[in-house]
Amino acid sequence: MTPERKKLGYWDLLKSWVLWSFYSQACYNYERMQASGFAHSMIPIIKKLYTTKEDISAALKRHLVFFNTEPNVGAMIHGITAAMEEERANDQPITDEAINSVKTGLMGPLAGIGDTLSQGTVTPILLALGIGLAKDGNLFGPVIYILLEAAVIWGIGYFMFFRGYKLGRTAVERLLEGGLVKDLITGAGIVGATVIGALTASFVGLSTPITITVGQQVVKLQADFFDKIMPQLLPLALTLGVWWLLNRRKSPIAIMGYLVLVGLVGSLLKVF
Amino acid sequence: MQITVFQAALIALFYYLAQSPWLMGMGYWTLYRPLIAGVVVGIILGNPTQGAIIGASINLIYLGFISAGGSLPGDPALAGYVGTALAIGSGIDVNAALALAVPIGLLGGLIWFGRMTLDAIFVHWADRYAEQGNTAGVAFANIVPPQILLFVICFVPAFLAVLYGPPAVKGAIDFLGAKVFHILIVIGGMLPALGIAMNFRSIGKGQTLPFFFLGFLLFVYLKLSIIGIAAFAVVFAFVYMHLHKGGMKSDA
């Protein structure tokens, strides 16, 4: 007898989207950005699909990793992830790596599209409309702005989330049929790692104002030395250093403590 | 006019709401904008029309405002709420309010840095709840402690700035400015290394390390956008898998 297929319903998905819309950035932070927001939004999905404590715990941990995207266009990732979780819960061979790679590979590009679309295009245009009216003291300006902005932003988020779920299911099903799961994992892993490398350069910031005087010559350590070897060398070294510590089984909390301490002492001593 | 304690508290509360999640994410898109902030402050102080006009002027500075990747070039909301309140309350004209709005926006940047740095603590709480398989705990850690923190660091400075006026704002900026700002920027710059390394560790089983470097190099040397780099990565992934399979299957 085959076990009954676990299936997500419309309300599970809607709940997930609403939770994400509310709390994506409730705990926004530099270390893992929207990680807890993502995990939070997956709770209705996780509760529907998994029953044992172990499975629920593993799923929560799976979604507590570094995540950052534009919340509305990026909601497509949540739809796809929900579809992948559904397959996984039905004993398809979808690993943590596969899910994480898909999320990581998509979050940057969708953030780029989303920021350009929502923050860069829609919002300024609607604001210009509202400001134009408000400048003459017309209070309909702000009201119109709020109504249009909410309709567009929520509209984008809803559409992308459900589109992602539909797309994710079909895409995942096709891959499973062709036995292409390994390819998916390898491919998504490559895309994910590449994006992560780029994020290291764009997100992590570290530089030094130290200057060394050699005789008559003043050498700026950052501009004349580090930048000459490679731009963003210090952020790269820092990230690889943290990665090395993690591989040495140091706890993330301890590492966070080190980082805060190094940053504090370093900036007081004018090293950074 | 004299701004009462109650009015100042109300304005500070709206400044918090602008950054809070309570409006289903819509705070950032509406209350956060100086245009709306101006109207809200105007209503609280009994002059919505003037509030709208001042808010609209302040908003012009921030029309091209984009927060990408969690970094904020100043804080339009604080500029909007405190700027409008000072303009109406102290009777300074719109241009003077604009001149004040920019440094106030910078002060708001400090609030942002503080929040983004301290919220990292609560993700570790969420980790602990996740370990126990406690879904309600994860939801709690995501909302309650960070929102209490956010409320405090938003409400207090906005309240004091509105109540005590321009001298208070200038004093606060001079007092906190350079040093605290710098320390927070340094720490805020370093912390993503942890999140990124943790994520990479969950993807990278050694063989993807070259691609990590590839992404990094494409960004620093070719200055490609993240979208562009991801597009290249897709091509590399296809080529990589094709070559990989080519050795085993001739029809690939």
Q: Give the percent of chain A with pLDDT over 90.
A: 46
Cβ <8 Å between B68 and A29:
no
C-beta of residue A194 within 8 angstroms of C-beta of residue A230? no
| Sign of the C-alpha dihedral computed for residues B50, B53, B57 and B62 taken in this order | positive
Residue A106, pLDDT > 80, answer: yes
Looking at beta carbons, which residues of chain B come within 8 Å of A209? none
Q: Which position has the higher pLDDT, B73 or A237? A: A237
The Cα of A1 is separated from the nearest Cα of chain B by a number of Å equal to 30
Least confident of A3-17, A133-147, A174-188, B40-54: A174-188
SS3 A153: helix
The Cα of A215 is separated from the nearest Cα of chain B by a number of Å equal to 30
Q: Which position has the higher pLDDT, A177 or B110? A: B110
Cβ <8 Å between A203 and B200:
no
Give the rounded distance of the alpha carbon of B122 from its chain centre: 17
Model pLDDT, residue B130: 96
Q: Alpha helices of chain B — where are they, by DSSP H?
A: 5-19, 34-44, 48-61, 76-89, 94-118, 120-131, 135-190, 192-203, 209-222, 226-246
pLDDT in tens, A178-187: 656 677 677 8
Nearest residue on chain A to B224, judged by CA atoms?
A198
Cβ <8 Å between B52 and A64:
no
Q: Which position has the higher pLDDT, A65 or B110? A: A65
Nearest CA-CA partner of B86 in B22, B36, B158: B158
Most confident stretch, A156-165, A241-250, B99-108: A156-165
Q: CA-to-CA distance for A206 and A238, rounded, in angstroms? A: 8
Looking at beta carbons, which residues of chain B come within 8 Å of A157? 25
Nearest residue on chain B to A46, judged by CA atoms?
B135
- For chain A, the maximum distance between any two Cα atoms, rounded to a whole number of angstroms, is 85
C-beta of residue A236 within 8 angstroms of C-beta of residue B216? yes
Q: CA-to-CA distance for A12 and A42, rounded, in angstroms? A: 10
C-beta of residue A112 within 8 angstroms of C-beta of residue B225? yes
C-beta of residue B105 within 8 angstroms of C-beta of residue B79? yes
Looking at beta carbons, which residues of chain B come within 8 Å of A252? 124, 127, 194, 198
Low-confidence ranges of chain B (pLDDT < 70): 63-73, 93, 166, 169-170, 172-173, 176-178, 181, 204-206, 245-252
Average pLDDT of A9-27?
96
Say how many residues make up chain B: 252
Model pLDDT, residue B205: 64
Q: CA-to-CA distance for A173 and A158, rounded, in angstroms? A: 23
Q: Enumerate residues 130 to 169 of chain B having a beta carbon within 8 A of any beta carbon in chain A.
A: 130-133, 135, 138-139, 141-143, 145-147
Model pLDDT, residue A137: 81
Q: Enumerate residues 192 to 231 of chain B having a beta carbon within 8 A of any beta carbon in chain A.
A: 192-205, 207-209, 211-221, 224-227, 229-231
Q: Which two tokens stand for residue B181?
A: 């700002």
Looking at beta carbons, which residues of chain A come within 8 Å of B191? 29-31, 256, 259-260
Looking at beta carbons, which residues of chain B come within 8 Å of A267? 182-183, 186-187
Q: What ipTM is given for this predicted complex? A: 0.77
B127-131 contacts, C-beta under 8 A, 24 or more apart: B127/A61, B127/A64, B127/A252, B129/A60, B130/A39, B130/A57, B130/A60, B130/A61, B130/A64, B131/A57, B131/A61
Residue A58, pLDDT > 90, answer: yes
Model pLDDT, residue A181: 63
C-beta of residue B171 within 8 angstroms of C-beta of residue B161? no
Q: For residue A82, what is the DSSP state?
A: H
Cβ <8 Å between B142 and A27:
yes
Most confident stretch, A105-119, A256-270, B59-73, B99-113: A256-270
Neighbouring CB atoms inside 10 A of B125's CB total 19
Cβ <8 Å between B122 and A101:
no
Rg of the Cα trace of chain A? Answer: 23
Nearest residue on chain B to A131, judged by CA atoms?
B56
Nearest CA-CA partner of A115 in B75, B229, B123, B28: B28
Neighbouring CB atoms inside 10 A of B252's CB total 11
Is B175 touching A (CB cutoff 8 A)?
Answer: no
pLDDT in tens, B124-142: 999 999 999 999 999 999 9
> Cα(first)–Cα(last) distance of chain B, in Å?
79
Q: CA-to-CA distance for A235 and A237, rounded, in angstroms? A: 5
Is B119 touching A (CB cutoff 8 A)?
Answer: yes
The Cα of B241 is separated from the nearest Cα of chain A by a number of Å equal to 7
Looking at beta carbons, which residues of chain A come within 8 Å of B225? 112
